[in-house]
Amino acid sequence: MVLVSDGAFVQDSWRRLADEESLPHSGRVIVSPSRLPAALDRPELEAVGVFVANTTDPKSLAAHFPRLTLIDIAFPAFTDGRGFSLARLLRREGFGGELRASGRLTPDQYLHAVGSGFDTIEIPDDLAARHGEANWAKALRARSLTYQRGHAAGASILDRRRKEAQ
């Protein structure tokens, strides 16, 4: 798997644990929702993240926001956009940590992901080889203004027009 951040391929400092793996004594771990309470009770862990389905209710995670460092949202197919909606809802609920999209996303979806609140995208190696780091960087710079009110973007085109009309 390859991690994309700010249009570049970067080293991933997190370790995703399978449910049958025991919790380590240190480090940054991503666990399933069923293992989240046990992981959060381990003060020796540097940071804890959770890997969730794109159908997760954001309110079910809200109580854990103060201690959660990362929420990793599954994208089972590049045509399934429910993860974008979930990211926006998590940001509206107040999650300020890292949001990661994991799955078969393409560079064409990168700006929408950033606008929805994602910080990083984890893609399979075959997609990274096919699209290349340069395409992700280019996709990030494709547009400087949008009509969408996004989490990461500044004022939308419509917001700017309203302000100028005042």
For 8-17, 29-38, 106-115, which range has the lowest pLDDT when averaged over its residues? 106-115
CATH number of 2-165: 3.20.20
Q: What are phi and psi of 51, to 5 degrees?
A: -100, 120
pLDDT at 155 over 70: no
The owner of tokens 């993240």 is: 49
Give the model's pLDDT for residue 141.
82
Instruction: Please compute the mean of the pLDDT values over residues 17-33 and round it to a whole number.
Output: 95
CA-based nearest residue to 116, from 141, 139, 72, 85: 85
Query: Model confidence over 32-63: pLDDT tens digits?
Result: 999 999 999 999 999 999 999 999 999 999 99
Would you say 117 and 88 are in contact if contact means Cβ atoms under 8 Å apart? yes
Q: How far apart are CA 79 and CA 12, in angstroms?
A: 25
Q: Where are the domains of the chain?
A: 2-165
The owner of tokens 């954001």 is: 58
Quick one: which H or E segment has residue 102? strand 98-103
Q: How far apart are CA 126 and CA 113, in angstroms?
A: 20
Which bin fits 103, alpha (ψ -120 to 50), beta or left (φ > 0)?
Answer: left
